[in-house]
Amino acid sequence: MTILTVNKKELEKKVGKITPGLEDKITEMGTPIEEVTDNELSVEVFPNRPDLLSLGNFARAVNQFNGKGKIASFKINKPEKDYTVTVEKSVKVIRPHTVCAIVKGLKFDDEKIKEIVDIQEKLHNSIGRKRKKIAIGVYPLDKIVLPIRFIAKKPEEIKFLPLEAQKEMTGSQILRGHPAGREYAHLLEGAEVFPIFVDANDEVLSMPPIINSEKTGRINEKTREIFIECSGHNLVYLKKCLNIIVASLAEMGGKIYSMNIKDNKSGNFISPDMSVEELEFDIKDIEKTLGIKLIEKDVKNYLARMGIGYENRKEKSVALIPAYRTDILHWIDLTEEIAIAYGYENFEPEIPEISTIAYEDPVGKTKQIIGNILAGLGLLETSSFHLTTRRNIKRMHFDYNDFIEVEDSKTERDVLRMDMLTNLLQILSENSDAGYPQKIFEMGRVFSRDDSEDTGVKETERLAVVMVDEVMNFTDLKQVVDYLFKMLGVEYSIENVENSNYIIGRCGKMIVEGKEVGFIGEVAPRVLKNWKIKMPTVAVEIDLDWLF
């Protein structure tokens, strides 16, 4: 969950007083308010709206939604002399793309610097996928000499003073010794060359996606003009990300200058491109999807409140999507924009008159019946986890080793259950303080390996019953099983088997129509000891799948 926290006073300068009414509006807009304090306002921003992750962009959206703001348009100044970034061949193997811009006329104070750092951080962690997909760098233009080259060098050949460090470090030293280096080392681990931005004097600006240079990569209150770059693997997302930052800086009063990106391999282009994207759609499709009537004027108005332009071109509806929006992939995305502006609370719920015939899954139905039969005998149904531990399974099945394990479980339970008895014996062991006799049962899925399944795992429906008391024997359980099978209208027989989990001579397999369906017996003292169960226990576990 991504939370945007903004300075309340700064926000109020842009959107007016934060009243309870405005708070409601902000939530309706799709950014639920998390907290409002005297100084700050926090909202949740959904992952599809990274463009809202800065004060400027958020304030613009609030004003638009409130009907107070215009649709954003951005004036892009042409590149000046040497406004060039050359992407050299060497960097293609490690971090192949960059998009850049220059913004001038900025006035920074502590609050604004924090805002810039914040937006980088937020974008890194959302669409940047923790810098894997996108890394962002911001530099004071007066500290660097244009043009700039994006190149890659061997880690030992890279040497500069990184932010927050005391002395110059090589690329490998940064990965091992610098806090940021260690945090993001996995992104460059094992690479023969590391990417760097260098200026016309061969001064290193930064080593993305790790860290900027202290000399050239720190903005302060005196900074008026900045150079911004986004580097990564996916040009589409890089462009979007840069647009979001640039749009936010424009809200701060910055003037945007584009740069020439020279890339022999992928082609040259001018960055940033802040032109609107056009998306043709049919109002009828929106009406049908939402189940409401819409006239063109309303659609235009609703889209405008979401910051999206509208034009009617030769009787065709065209949405004009601002350059910072990343989430409009298809016309279907416009339906939600319109629904939000229309107001979710204004939709009238409706149940259509379509006739369909209900159907209950026979497995569930039979389980319900079995549950009722056993409950009728005074047995208590339990409900336990599908995940258990190796140790628990081994308390009974000491020679079982074919565990199906989950990776990196945050709980102590890290293997799938292979039977139901393990769970039931655990329940008995944890309930020695409850009155006896204890008679419990449970139905559920157990897991085993099976290559014929899509997943390699077979799931089988099972029933287990266990009963424990000072005096408890095979007869007590057989009575229950006899009754259950009789009520289900199924005949079964028991054949003696030797299974060391049960007392020898008091354990059998259950047969239905020649097929083995389960195990029944008095649990071996060894197993009871392992579970610290202090009284005789009888147990049965039956496959249910043959019933259906």
Partner 1 sequence: MDEKLLIESLSPIERNVLPNISARFSDIDEIAKASIQDKTTALRAVGFLKNKGLVESKSSEKKVVILGILGVNYLKKELPERTLLNKLVEARNSVPSKLGTNVPSSSGKKSILIGEIRNVCGLNENEAKIALGTLRKKALVEISGGKLILNAKPGEVTNKMIEELFLEKLPMDLDAVKDLDKLALENLKSRKDIVEIEGQKKMKVKLTELGEKVASMDLKTDLVEQLTPKMLKQNSWKGKKFRRYDLSSPVPRVYGGKRHFTNQAIDYAKSIWLEMGFKEMTGNNVETGFWVFDSLFTAQDHPVREMQDTFYLKGMKGKLPERCKKKENCILFKTQQAHEGGIDGSKGWQYEWNGEDAKKVLMRTHTTSLSARKLREIRDTKEFPAKYFALGKCFRNETVDWSHGFEFNQTEGIVVDENANFRQLLGYLKQFYKKMGYEKIRIRPAYFAYTEPSLEIDVFHPVHKEWVELGGAGMFRPEVTIPMFGKHIPVLAWGQGFDRIITEFFRINDLREVNKNDINKLREMKFWRRD
Tell me the closest approach of the beta carbon of residue 105 to partner 1, in angstroms: 33
The four Cα atoms 13, 14, 16, 18 give a dihedral, to 10 degrees, of -90
> Are 216 and 139 in contact, with CB atoms under 8 Å apart?
yes
Of 24 and 111, nearer to partner 1 (C-beta) is 24
**Which of these, 446, 428, 467, 475, lies nearest to 542 by C-alpha position?**
446
Tell me the closest approach of the beta carbon of residue 176 to partner 1, in angstroms: 25
Neighbours of 173 (CB within 10 A): 18
DSSP state of 191: -
Of 351 and 471, nearer to partner 1 (C-beta) is 351
**H-helix or E-strand spanning residue 99:** strand 97-104
**Cα(183)–Cα(423) distance, integer angstroms:** 41
Tell me the closest approach of the beta carbon of residue 210 to partner 1, in angstroms: 20
Tell me the closest approach of the beta carbon of residue 507 to partner 1, in angstroms: 25
Of 256 and 334, nearer to partner 1 (C-beta) is 334
Tell me the closest approach of the beta carbon of residue 29 to partner 1, in angstroms: 8
What is the DSSP pairing of strand 259-263 with strand 84-87?
Answer: parallel
Gyration radius of the chain over CA positions: 33
Of 267 and 378, nearer to partner 1 (C-beta) is 378
Tell me the closest approach of the beta carbon of residue 245 to partner 1, in angstroms: 19
Triad 253, 255, 259: Cα angle to 5°? 145
Triad 458, 462, 466: Cα angle to 5°? 140
Where are the strands (E) in 251-306, listed by range? 255-257, 259-263, 269-271, 277-281
For the chain, the residue count is: 548
Six token digits for residue 119: 């937006």
Tell me the closest approach of the beta carbon of residue 60 to partner 1, in angstroms: 18
What is the DSSP pairing of strand 40-45 with strand 2-7?
Answer: antiparallel
Side chain identity at residue 393, one-letter code: I
State the residue for tokens 């007016």: 16
Of 450 and 513, nearer to partner 1 (C-beta) is 450
Tell me the closest approach of the beta carbon of residue 339 to partner 1, in angstroms: 5
How far lies 168's CA from each of 77, 163, 192, 199, in Å?
Answer: 37, 10, 21, 17
Of 54 and 335, nearer to partner 1 (C-beta) is 335
Of 193 and 466, nearer to partner 1 (C-beta) is 466
Contacts of residue 539, Cβ cutoff 8 Å, sequence gap at least 6: 421, 424, 425, 464, 465, 466, 467, 477, 502, 519, 520, 521, 522, 523
Tell me the closest approach of the beta carbon of residue 46 to partner 1, in angstroms: 4
**Cα(301)–Cα(312) distance, integer angstroms:** 13
Of 28 and 40, nearer to partner 1 (C-beta) is 28
Of 409 and 496, nearer to partner 1 (C-beta) is 409
**Cα(395)–Cα(473) distance, integer angstroms:** 21
Tell me the closest approach of the beta carbon of residue 422 to partner 1, in angstroms: 13
**Cα(110)–Cα(289) distance, integer angstroms:** 47
**Which of these, 51, 52, 113, 64, lies nearest to 41 by C-alpha position?**
52
> Are 390 and 494 in contact, with CB atoms under 8 Å apart?
no
Tell me the closest approach of the beta carbon of residue 35 to partner 1, in angstroms: 16
> Are 44 and 1 in contact, with CB atoms under 8 Å apart?
yes
Of 258 and 388, nearer to partner 1 (C-beta) is 388
Three-class DSSP category at 231:
strand
Tell me the closest approach of the beta carbon of residue 204 to partner 1, in angstroms: 29
Side chain identity at residue 342, one-letter code: Y
Tell me the closest approach of the beta carbon of residue 248 to partner 1, in angstroms: 21
Of 259 and 443, nearer to partner 1 (C-beta) is 443
Of 313 and 359, nearer to partner 1 (C-beta) is 359
Of 182 and 288, nearer to partner 1 (C-beta) is 288
Of 117 and 457, nearer to partner 1 (C-beta) is 457
Six token digits for residue 185: 């080392």
* 527 phi/psi in degrees, rounded to 5: -65, -45
Six token digits for residue 176: 């091992």
**Cα(232)–Cα(127) distance, integer angstroms:** 11
Tell me the closest approach of the beta carbon of residue 317 to partner 1, in angstroms: 14
